Amino acid sequence: MSNSLIKPRIERPSLSQIIEAKAPLFLVPVLMLIGLLAIGSGSTWLTLTAAGLAMGMMIFIMASGLTVIFGLMDVINFGHGAFISLGAFAGFTILGLLGGWIESPSIALNLGAVLLAVAFAMLVTGLAGYGFERLIVKPVYGQHLKQILVTMGGLVVTQQLIYVIWGPDEIVLARPAAFQGSFVVLGAAIEKYRVLAIVIGLALFVAMRLVLNRTRIGLLVRAGVQNGEMVEALGYPIKKLFLAVFMVGCALAGLGGVMWGMYQETISAHMGAEVMISVFIVVIIGGLGSIEGCFIGAMLVGLLTNYTGFLIPKLALVSTILLMGAVLMWRPQGLYPVVKAH
Amino acid sequence: MSDALLSLNGIHTHIGPYHILQGVDLEVPRGGVTVLLGRNGAGKTTTLRTIMGLWQASQGTIRFDGAAIQKETTPAIAQREIAFVPEDMGIFSDLTVHENMLLAARGGAIDEERLGWIFGLFPPLKTFWQSAAGNLSGGQKQMLAVARAIIEPRKLILIDEPTKGLAPAIINAMIAALKELKELKEMQTTILLVEQNFSMARAVGDTVAVMDDGRIVYSGDMAELAADTGLQERLMGLSLEAHQ
Q: So what's the ipTM on this one?
A: 0.91
Distances (CA, A) of A296 to A25, A56, A61, A260, A284: 7, 9, 12, 19, 11
Q: Nearest CB to A232: which of B74, B108, B173? A: B74
Distances (CA, A) of A94 to A14, A123, A228, B191: 55, 12, 38, 59
Q: Are A249 and A132 contacting, i.e. CB atoms less than 8 angstroms apart?
A: no
How many angstroms separate the CA atoms of B75 and B82, rounded? 10
Question: What is the C-alpha end-to-end distance of chain B, expressed in Å?
Answer: 30
Q: What are phi and psi of A15, to 5 degrees?
A: -60, -40
Contacts of B105 in chain A (CB under 8 A): none
Query: Most A CBs within 10 Å: which of B52, B56, B81, B103, as the mutation test of the A interface?
Result: B103
Determine whether the interchain pair B103/A229 forms a contact, defined as Cβ–Cβ distance below 8 Å: no
* One-letter amino acid for residue B204 of the chain: V
The whole-number average pLDDT for the span A229-246 is: 93
How many angstroms separate the CA atoms of B54 and B52, rounded? 5
> A-B interface: how many C-beta pairs under 8 angstroms?
87
* One-letter amino acid for residue A78 of the chain: F
Share of chain A above pLDDT 70, in %: 96
Q: Is A265 left (phi over 0), alpha (psi -120 to 50) or beta?
A: left
How many angstroms separate the CA atoms of A333 and A284, rounded? 8
Domain positions in chain A: 41-268
Give how far the C-alpha of residue B147 lies from the chain's centroid of Cα atoms, to the nearest Å.
12
Q: Which helix (H) or strand (E) holds B29?
A: strand B18-29
Q: Is B112 exposed, middle or buried (0-12, 13-18, 19+ CB in 10 A)?
A: exposed
How many angstroms separate the CA atoms of A212 and A219, rounded? 6
Task: Report the pLDDT value the prediction gives residue B119, as an integer from 0 to 100.
Answer: 93
Q: Which residues of A48-64 are buried (b: 16+ CB within 10 A; e: fewer)?
A: bbbbbbbbbbbbbbbbb
Q: Are A340 and A333 contacting, i.e. CB atoms less than 8 angstroms apart?
A: yes
Which distant-in-sequence residues (6+ apart) come within 8 Å of A234 by Cβ? B78, B103, B104, B106, B148
Task: Report the pLDDT value the prediction gives residue A102, as an integer from 0 to 100.
Answer: 85
- Give the range with max mean pLDDT: A88-102, A151-165, B218-232: A151-165
Which range among A139-148, A153-162, A194-203 shows the weakest confidence by mean pLDDT?
A139-148
Q: Which residues of B118-153 are buried (b: 16+ CB within 10 A; e: fewer)?
A: bbebbbbbebbeebbbeebeebbbbbbbbbbbbbee
Give the residue among B55, B36, B73, B24 at the shortest CA–CA distance from B191: B36
Q: Which residues pair with B82 in a beta bridge?
A: B156
Helices marked H in chain B — which ranges?
44-51, 74-78, 97-104, 112-121, 123-127, 138-150, 168-183, 198-204, 222-227, 229-236
Q: Could you give the residue range(s) of every CATH 3.40.50.300 domain in chain B? A: 4-81+155-243
Determine whether the interchain pair A220/B99 forms a contact, defined as Cβ–Cβ distance below 8 Å: no
Determine whether the interchain pair B86/A216 forms a contact, defined as Cβ–Cβ distance below 8 Å: no
Tell me the shortest Cα–Cα distance from A225 to chain B, in angstroms.
9
* One-letter amino acid for residue A328 of the chain: L
Q: Is A235 left (phi over 0), alpha (psi -120 to 50) or beta?
A: left
Contacts of B104 in chain A (CB under 8 A): 234
The whole-number average pLDDT for the span A91-111 is: 89
The whole-number average pLDDT for the span A173-183 is: 86
Determine whether the interchain pair B99/A237 forms a contact, defined as Cβ–Cβ distance below 8 Å: no
Give the residue among B168, B143, B135 at the shortest CA–CA distance from B244: B168
CATH class given for the domain over B4-81+155-243:
alpha beta
Residue A222 has pLDDT above 80, yes or no: yes
Tell me what the pLDDT averaged over chain A comes to: 90
Q: What are phi and psi of B34, to 5 degrees?
A: -105, 130
Give the residue among A255, A263, A258, A250 at the shortest CA–CA distance from A93: A258
Pair type for strands B33-38 and A182-185: unpaired
Determine whether the interchain pair A222/B170 forms a contact, defined as Cβ–Cβ distance below 8 Å: no
Determine whether the interchain pair A5/B79 forms a contact, defined as Cβ–Cβ distance below 8 Å: no
R_g (Cα) of chain B, nearest Å:
17
Cα atoms in the 13 Å half-sphere on the side-chain side of B34: 25
Determine whether the interchain pair B128/A8 forms a contact, defined as Cβ–Cβ distance below 8 Å: yes
Distances (CA, A) of A169 to A89, A95, A166, A268: 12, 18, 8, 7
Q: Are A327 and A285 contacting, i.e. CB atoms less than 8 angstroms apart?
A: yes
Residue A16 has pLDDT above 50, yes or no: yes
CA dihedral (A88, A94, A99, A105) positive or negative: negative
Instruction: Count Cβ atoms below 10 Å from residue B68 Cβ, excluding itself.
Output: 11
Collect the ranges in chain B with pLDDT lower than 70.
Answer: 1-2, 184-187, 236-244
Q: Which residues pair with A266 in a beta bridge?
A: A172
How many angstroms separate the CA atoms of A133 and A120, rounded? 20
Give how far the C-alpha of residue A333 lies from the chain's centroid of Cα atoms, to the nearest Å.
18
How many angstroms separate the CA atoms of B103 and A241, rounded? 14
Indicate the DSSP class of residue B12.
Answer: E
Pair type for strands A182-185 and B4-15: unpaired
Q: Nearest CB to A226: which of B73, B93, B174? A: B93
Q: Are B188 and B17 contacting, i.e. CB atoms less than 8 angstroms apart?
A: no
Residue A244 has pLDDT above 60, yes or no: yes
CA dihedral (A99, A103, A104, A107) positive or negative: positive
Determine whether the interchain pair A222/B131 forms a contact, defined as Cβ–Cβ distance below 8 Å: no
Pair type for strands A171-172 and A182-185: unpaired
Chain segment B30-63, per-residue pLDDT in tens: 988 999 998 888 899 999 999 999 999 999 999 9
Determine whether the interchain pair B74/A1 forms a contact, defined as Cβ–Cβ distance below 8 Å: no
Residue A11 has pLDDT above 70, yes or no: no
Chain segment A22-42, per-residue pLDDT in tens: 889 999 999 999 999 999 988
Task: Report the pLDDT value the prediction gives residue A13, as an integer from 0 to 100.
Answer: 74
Share of chain A above pLDDT 90, in %: 69
Contacts of B96 in chain A (CB under 8 A): none
Please name the residue of chain B whose CA is at the shortest distance from the CA of residue A220: B103
Task: Report the pLDDT value the prediction gives residue A9, as an integer from 0 to 100.
Answer: 61
